[in-house]
Amino acid sequence: MSTSLLDELMTDHLDPGYRAAAGRRAAAPSPPAADRRRTQLLLATGLLLLGFLLAVAYRGTLRQAPDSERARQALVRDVETGSALSDSLQRRAETLTGELGRERDAALAAIRTGDQVGTEVRRLEAAAAQSAVRGPGIEVVAGDAGAREQTDPATGERVTVPAEDSGRLRDRDLQSIVNALWAAGAEAVAVDGERLAPTTTIRAAGEAILVDLRPVQNPYTIAAVGDPETLLPRFADSEAARRYQSYTGLYGIQFTVRKVGELQLRAATGSQLRYAEAVPSASPAPSAAPGASGSSESPRSPTGSPTGSPASPSGAGSTPGRSPGGGP
C-alpha cells in the first residue's frame, strides 16, 4: 500500500480536480473569431482612452506648476515685506517712546512734586515692561532635536533620519521655561528679542510659536535680566530646568544655560488696556405725592444696580491677569 502511494506521488503530479477542470475547458467550444476580435478591439480602445487621459493630466500639471510657483514666490515676498514694515514701525515706536519719555521728564522737572511723580511713573513702566532695561543675567537656549544618522538594517548604509515629533518644542515648553525664570527671580525676560509684559501670550499657530503675535524661530533664545549669582542656581534647581536637561538625553533636544555680563532688552510692545468703570447714575425719580401709601424703591440704573453704586465689572473690562509666559 505504501509502495503504490509513493509511486502515485512520484508519477502523478497533477491533482485530479485540476485534471478535470482542464478537461472541461478543453472540451468547451471556442468562442467565434468575431467575438474575439470585438473583445480585442474594446480592450485596445480602453487602453487608448486611458493613455489619452493620462497625457492630458500630465500636460495640465506641467502648465499649472509655474503658476503655483509664482503664487508661492508672491506670498513669500508679501511676508518679507510685511515683516520689514513691522520691524521698521517697531523701531519708529521705540524712538518716539524715548522722545516722549524725555519730554515727560522735562515737564515733571518743572513742577514741585515732579520727582515723586516721575519715580512712580518709572516704577509703573518697569512693572509693565514699557521701558528698556540693561544689566547682567542669564541666557537659555532651547531648540528642537536635529536630524540624526543611523545604519539602515537592510542595506547597511548610513542614512539621515529626521527628528521625531517628540523632539520638537511646543509653546507650552517655552511657557514652562519662562515661568521658571520668573520664579527664580528674573526682573525682565525676552524670547528671541520679544520682551514679555504682564499681558504677553506665548501660544502656537499651526507649527509656529508666537510671542504677542510675532513668530519666534528655533532654536529659541530666552534672555533674563537679574543677578546671575542667584538667578542661575535657582533656575538650574527648578523642576523645569531639570526636566529639559533630561530631555537632551532622551529626545536629543537642545538646552543650554549660561551667564551673560550685559543684556539689553527693549521695551515690550504696548497693548491697549481696558478698565472697569462705574455706570453713570440715572436721573432721580420724582418723589411720591404726600400721603401716598406704600414704600418707594430706590431708582435703579439700567444694569439693575442701585443708583450711585457701581455695576459689577464685566469680564471684558476687568483688569487683565497674567497670561501664560507673561511677567510677574
* Whether the Cβ atoms of residue 127 and residue 199 lie closer than 8 Å to each other: no
Q: Which residue has the higher pLDDT, 10 or 95?
A: 95
* Mean pLDDT to the nearest integer, 184-191: 94
Which residue from 142, 144, 126 is spatially nearest to 188, judged by alpha carbons? 126
Q: Which cell numbers hold the place of 43?
A: 480592450
Q: What is the largest CA-CA distance in the chain?
A: 134
Q: What is the pTM of this model?
A: 0.56
Contact between 169 and 253 under an 8 Å Cβ cutoff? The reply is yes
Q: What is the mean pLDDT of residues 43-55?
A: 88
Which grid coordinates are listed for 288?
Answer: 411720591
Residue 198 has a CB neighbour count (10 Å cut-off) of: 18
pLDDT, position 9: 62
pLDDT of residue 260: 93
DSSP 136-163: EEEEEEEEPPPPEEEE-TTT--EEEEPP
pLDDT at 215 over 70: yes
In the chain, how many H helices and how many E strands? Answer: 7, 10
- Residue 327, pLDDT above cutoff 80: no
